[in-house]
Amino acid sequence: MGEGGSCCSGIGRAALPVLARPEVPLGSRRPARLVELSGGRFRMGTDTPILPQDGETPSREMTLRPFGMDPYAVSNVQFAAFVADTGYATEAERFGWSLVFRGFVEAVRPEMLSPNGPPWWCRVEGACWRAPEGPGSSTEGRADHPVVHVSWNDAQAFARWAGGRLPTEAEWEYAASGGREGARFPWGEAEPDDVAFQPCNIWQGDFPRHNTAADGYAGTAPVDAFAPNGFGLFNMVGNVWEWTAEPFRIRSLSRDAKQRNAASQTERQRLLKGGSYLCHRSYCYRYRIAARTGVSADSSTGHAGFRLVFDAV
């Protein structure tokens, strides 16, 4: 099983009526809450990369067909409905473990730490989507939080059941921009900080030692937390990384990029977008629209989830 990588004052929760909360999808039904996006010509990527080793460059023009995107990441209650209907067991459940942020683990033992991986990830036996921090934990009180500890393969299985699919990288970037083509963030250019401006769920403080949780959340936040972007989509950056449909490839021609591209293909890595609650500018400045990362398709962690798109009808 591949190991995971990288990794409220100011703006409050969106005022959503109870009936507008994410409903449980039924197999092959196109949810009424979808945000319908017109597509067309769109420039993705960037020519001023922050992390060029990730393949953020070059910018390029794409043409997108119309599609609908769920305004929310798939939640625990939605994933529970899928499991109840199908009996599906996630890869974390089948492997018997998943990766949990060290700060959420009460007793860290040496065997939990990978000699080759970041020291803030722990291999926790029994950690999975229904027990996010391992045995004794649960999703109680987090029904409307994004499901985590789901691999790319798990996300694909859910998508087939729901009648949707994972977005392409171009679709994801177009949607995340909220109509602000070329913007660094879904809300524009203003940089989140550790004190006053917290428009998304990321790390505040000294990573990985101390999280002030100034945005109101040390871990995941509800899928409708914070203000939506210009298209009405929530948490397109921060909160949880989101799986896309594509392999992780690097288009730039640098030596480092070529080496990473070769490694990603060998490991059959898949592309994730958006960053997570563990991102901070000092370490993982990937809560930007052009940012990206890749991990193997069977990887699961406590900071990765997904959302669906549906083809236009």
Q: Look at residue 179 and tell me whether its pLDDT is greater than 90.
A: yes
- pLDDT category, 30, cuts 50, 70, 90? confident
pLDDT at 268: 83
Report the share of the chain in percent with pLDDT over 90: 82
What is the domain-level CATH number for residue 264? 3.90.1580.10
Question: How many structural domains is the chain composed of?
Answer: 1
Q: 73, 241 in Cβ contact below 8 A?
A: no
Segment 80-88 mean pLDDT = 97
- Output the pLDDT for position 107: 93
Q: Is residue 109 assigned to a domain?
A: yes
Residue 9 confidence (pLDDT) above 80: no
Q: How far is it, in rounded angstroms, from Cα 70 to Cα 132?
A: 23
- Cβ neighbors of 83 (< 8 A, separation 6 or more) are none
pLDDT value, residue 253: 54
Let me know if residue 25 belongs to a domain: no
Task: Please tell me the distance from the alpha carbon of residue 141 to that of residue 146, in angstroms, as a whole number.
Answer: 12
Q: Give the whole-angstrom CA distance, residue 302 versus residue 137.
A: 13
Assigned domain for 172 exists:
yes
Rounded Cα–Cα distance for residues 280 and 305 (Å):
19
Considering the domain boundaries, does residue 19 fall inside one?
Answer: no
Question: Which residue(s) pair with 42 in the sheet?
Answer: 62
Average of per-residue pLDDT across 88-98: 98
- What confidence score (pLDDT) does residue 19 get? 30
Structural domain boundaries enclosing 44: 34-311
3-state secondary structure of 64: strand
Pairing of strands 40-44, 60-64: antiparallel
In a domain, 23, yes or no: no
In a domain, 78, yes or no: yes
Instruction: Please say if the pLDDT value at position 2 is more than 50.
Output: no
Query: pLDDT at position 24, please?
Result: 58
Instruction: Output the pLDDT for position 11.
Output: 23
Q: Average per-residue pLDDT in the chain? A: 89
Residue 164 lies in a domain: yes
**What's the confidence (pLDDT) of residue 117?**
85
Asked if residue 26 is part of any domain, the answer here is no
**Higher pLDDT residue, 21 or 158?**
158
What is the mean pLDDT of the segment spanning 197-205?
A: 97
Unique residue bearing structure tokens 């420039």: 43
- Band (20; pLDDT cuts 50, 70, 90): very low
Q: How far is CA 17 from CA 13, 20, 21, 22, 228, in A?
A: 12, 5, 7, 11, 15
Residue 23 confidence class, pLDDT cut points 50, 70, 90: low
**Amino acid making up residue 307:** R
pTM value? 0.90
What is the distance of C-alpha 93 from the center of its chain?
Answer: 20
Q: Which residues pair with 61 in a beta bridge?
A: 43
167/25: higher pLDDT: 167
Selection from 243, 255, 250 nearest residue 300 by Cα: 243
* Average pLDDT of the residues in 263-284: 87
Task: Say whether 156 sits in a helix, a strand or coil.
Answer: helix
In angstroms, the CA 271 to CA 264 distance is 10
Please give the pLDDT value at position 26: 54
